[in-house]
Structure 1
Amino acid sequence: MTAALTARGTATLGIDISALAVDLTNARGGLALQRSVFDDVPGEGRWSHLLLADGNIGIGGDPALLLRRCGQLLAAGGSILLDVDPPGSGVLVERVRIERDGHSSGWFRWCWVGAEVLPDLAVPAGLAVVRTWLAADRWQAQLVKKR
């Protein structure tokens, strides 16, 4: 997504703890750094938009902490677009690992967040839920940092 947005002329920065993900993004013409979103990020407090696609609200297994961090990265009035689970799903936190082609990652905390829970998580982070919607069988949400 970072490379695609860059190709459209949008200033973007991808962040991932995976060296492979960063290498692939950079090879495709995007700009990505290998680090955690909880580490120092260039432009902190000045980003207009953040994208938590593909369930990345689950990063770290603590959506309240992640949203607070995202609020620190955003400029006033900035927005977050994210995927969430369907309304009624609540919050589920588990330890998971990725398995592929006979290889497994280490265990890590991950969570899934239902759309109905977002207001309770957003408000303490200085964010407001603008809207939630269903598109192509995936629930989406837009949050905005309060000014």
Structure 2
Amino acid sequence: MSIAELGREATFGAGGAEPYAHALRREGRLTLVRSDASGESSGSHGEGSTEPGSGDYDLGRWMAAADDVDRALLAAERGPVLDIGCGPGRMVEAGIALGLVALGIDVSSAAVAVARNAGLPVLRRTVFERLPRERHWGTALLLDGNIGIGGDPVRLLSRCRELLSATGAVIVEASPRDEADSVFSAHVVDDHGRASSDFPWAEVGADAMARHAASAGLRVDQEWRIDGRVFARLIRA
């Protein structure tokens, strides 16, 4: 897929009123809203019941430096590190500070601009394109709900497996709802009511992670919870 084709893809926060790009310029919050009429909202702006935190994105945290949880996660892994859906690049910056070779990829031109302005190595690219170091990444990151990218967790994890070295690992941040396991159409809304176009997304909790990993040729090596966040370390089966 070319950069020109990226602009036609339905991706997180893009299209419509471009709330993600606006929020990156001034922080604030984004809320993920399920667009299908029968689905329930994952955030406070949609109709129906809500699940606190499962679809609420704090741009202040994304724009800030990595926190203790983020740094501890990286300190336990080996490089090189690929951050998939890196946003403004906090994990790339943290990896480099720990002495790791790190690269971020994101489809948002606004996010890539923020990261590059900070001097970080980030490419505007989708994970499904050809990437540097194919089959040689020590760690691939899918944090901040990025297991949802593309609305197909098995396809995404299968692609991550292709990118890893023989001893590499995928670190996935799961939904705080253990029972979550759904694929849906969604859009994001910012604090000012600006909405993006719809895009495919997924939500995967701890209960379904092992099953999706197995379908992608991976297995859960470790699972842990800290500060309300849920993580799984996936390695080759």
TM over 0.5: yes
- 1:38 is aligned to 128
Provide the rounded CA distance (Å) in 1 between the counterparts of 2:233 and 2:123: 25
CA RMSD of aligned residues (A): 1.5
8 Å CA contact 2:176–2:228 kept in 1: the answer is no
Give the match's secondary structure for 1:89: coil
- 1:128 is aligned to 219
Match of 1:106 among 197, 203, 212: 197
User: Residue 98 of structure 2 aligns to which amino acid in structure 1?
Assistant: R
2:145 is aligned with 1:76: no
Provide the rounded CA distance (Å) in 1 between the counterparts of 2:201 and 2:94: 26
- Change in Cα spacing, 1:18 to 1:87, as seen in structure 2 (3 Å) is closer
Superposed counterparts of 1:1-147, under 5 Å? 1-86=91-176, 88-100=178-190, 101-146=192-237
Following TM superposition, where does structure 1 have runs of at least 4 consecutive aligned residues deviating by more than 6 angstroms?
none
Structure with bigger gyration radius: 2
Q: Structure 2 unaligned runs (5+)?
A: 1-90
8 Å CA contact 1:6–1:30 kept in 2: the answer is no
8 Å CA contact 1:3–1:26 kept in 2: the answer is no
Provide the rounded CA distance (Å) in 1 between the counterparts of 2:183 and 2:224: 23
Provide the rounded CA distance (Å) in 2 between the counterparts of 1:4 and 1:24: 15
Residue 106 of structure 1 deviates from its aligned partner by 1.5
* Residues 78-98 of structure 1: CA deviation (Å, up to 9, x unaligned): 001111024641412121112
8 Å CA contact 1:4–1:30 kept in 2: the answer is no
User: Residue 119 of structure 2 aligns to which amino acid in structure 1?
Assistant: G
Q: As a proportion of its length, which structure holds more strand?
A: 1
Give the match's secondary structure for 1:104: coil
User: Residue 115 of structure 1 aligns to which amino acid in structure 2?
Assistant: A
User: Residue 72 of structure 1 aligns to which amino acid in structure 2?
Assistant: E
Provide the rounded CA distance (Å) in 2 between the counterparts of 1:7 and 1:103: 35
Provide the rounded CA distance (Å) in 1 between the counterparts of 2:193 and 2:116: 26
User: Residue 170 of structure 2 aligns to which amino acid in structure 1?
Assistant: I
The number of residue pairs the alignment matches comes to 146
Query: TM-score, structure 2 length as denominator?
Result: 0.58
Give the match's secondary structure for 2:102: coil
Provide the rounded CA distance (Å) in 2 between the counterparts of 1:71 and 1:56: 15
- Change in Cα spacing, 1:16 to 1:115, as seen in structure 2 (3 Å) is same
Provide the rounded CA distance (Å) in 1 between the counterparts of 2:177 and 2:102: 30
